[in-house]
Amino acid sequence: MLKSFKTIVFGLVAASISVSAVAQDDRALDLDALLKQLEEGKFAQTEQNKQREQEFVAQRAEQDRILRETAQLRDRTLATSEQLETIFEENEFKLADLNEALTNRLGSLKELFGVLQQVAGDTKNKFYNSVVSAEIPGRSAFLDQLAQDMGSSSKLASIDEIEQVWYEIQREMTQSGKVTKFTTDVVEAGGAKVSKEVVRVGPFALVADGKYLDYNGVTGTVAELIRQPAGRYGESAAELQASNGELVKFGLDPTGGSILGLLVQAPNLRERVEQGGVVGYIILIVGAFGLLLSLERLFTLTIIRTKVNSQLKSKEVKANNPLGRVLKVRDEHPNADTEALELHLTEAILAEVPKLGRNLTIIKIISVVAPLMGLLGTVTGMINTFQAITLFGTGDPKLMAGGISTALVTTVLGLVVAIPTTLLYAMLNTRSKNIVYILQEQAAGVIAERAEKG
């Protein structure tokens, strides 16, 4: 085994010696070539360095020249800056002296121009919201420009500008006392823009086609109110536009539209009834039914009372009225004794009582049930209100408005039905009883007459 190991080592050494010899031959060839390349590169680099040195020397002279010129420019600029600083300081002193002199010369005029600027600004804002601007547009442009000029600079207003401000204020005062007609574009509720004849009532209102208009000072447009005031206000607007100079009653809003805005937001009768919900409609239906029954009873009892009065004045017995039918019993039993006749008359009267009191019980029930139904709607509305409070809290009152409206409106509707129904029941019941009293009185007279004869 040792012998074999020696053989392997010897072989490896021999192989390494042979490889080293070959590598030395290749290295000799590479070093010669490298030396030659170094000689050639050294020569080329020397030529490039000489060229660079020449260019650097030339550029250095140019840079020295530029540096000298820059230093001279800096010196001149510094001198100019110092000179300008001196002039600026002198001008500041001169400006302060001139401002002081201007202030002394203006005196009370300075306060005048300040007041003029304030008046111009206030008047401009007034013109923006004035309905007179719908007839005379563009008035605020001059005042706006004047206020800006006097506020942004020390420019003083001229005599013409002061007179123009005076003129615009005076014209606004004059137009405030006039009722005029003019033609302008009006935006209708549907969105269409139509040229219409508009009536202006001072600075208070604009009317066209019997409808109130609204003037927007920002856009300079005239538009119909989406909701118009109901009742006499709409009628007075139509009468005003149709007037040819005669006096007409017309509602004015001295607040510039605030009261009119609240007026048109107020719900009308239909909207108030709709706020009552289902319970409110049921109350109205029951109330209408009770009213029809009351009218029928009132008409019927009036006719019966007229016929009874006619029968009281006549000796002829007629069967077209309760009294006649009761008196006819006397003729049908001429030989009956007093007690028998009394029973027959009582029977006849009792037969007439249901006819006279028909449907009065239903009317009485309606008068009692209506406020109870209103109370039901009130409780339902309050339940909805508390549910809204539970879900959303009390931050937004509009969430509770629906339930509260239902609660209050149903109560009102119940009372509106109950009060007249109760009065009608009392009146009809009294009329019915009066007729029954007449029948009893006449029957008692017949019995007394028969007793005297018997």
Structure tokens at 7: 């053989």
- Give the pLDDT mean for 21-30: 46
Cβ contact 345:326 at 8 Å: yes
Q: Where is pLDDT greater, at 211 or 17?
A: 211
* pLDDT at 418 exceeding the cut of 90: yes
| pLDDT(292) > 90 | yes
Instruction: Find the mean pLDDT for residues 278-283.
Output: 89
How far apart CA 104 and CA 111 sit, in angstroms, is 12
Is 302 inside a domain boundary? Answer: yes
In a domain, 223, yes or no: no
The predicted pLDDT at position 24 comes to: 42
Residue 35, Cβ neighbours under 10 Å: how many?
10
Name every residue whose Cβ is closer than 8 Å to that of residue 327 and which is 6 or more positions away in sequence. Answer: 311, 317, 442, 446
Answer whether residue 96 is part of any domain: no
- The model's confidence at residue 157, banded by pLDDT at 50, 70 and 90, is confident
139 falls within a domain: no
CA 278/CA 41 separation, integer angstroms: 110
Residue 18 pLDDT > 60, yes or no?
A: no
CB 126 within 8 A of CB 137: no
Q: What is the pTM of this model?
A: 0.55
Asked, for residue 159, whether it belongs to a domain, the answer is: no
Joined tokens for residue 210 = 């019997």
What integer best gives the mean pLDDT of the chain?
A: 80
- Indicate if the pLDDT at residue 398 is higher than 70: no
Q: What percent of the chain has pLDDT over 90?
A: 17
User: How many distinct structural domains can be found in the chain?
Assistant: 1
Determine the residue type at 132.
V
Q: Which domain holds residue 388?
A: 277-453
Is 84 within the bounds of a domain?
no
Q: Where are the alpha helices (DSSP H) in 107-158?
A: 109-129, 132-135, 139-152
Percent of the chain at pLDDT > 70 equals: 83
Structure tokens, 25: 């031959």
- Residue-level pLDDT at 4: 43
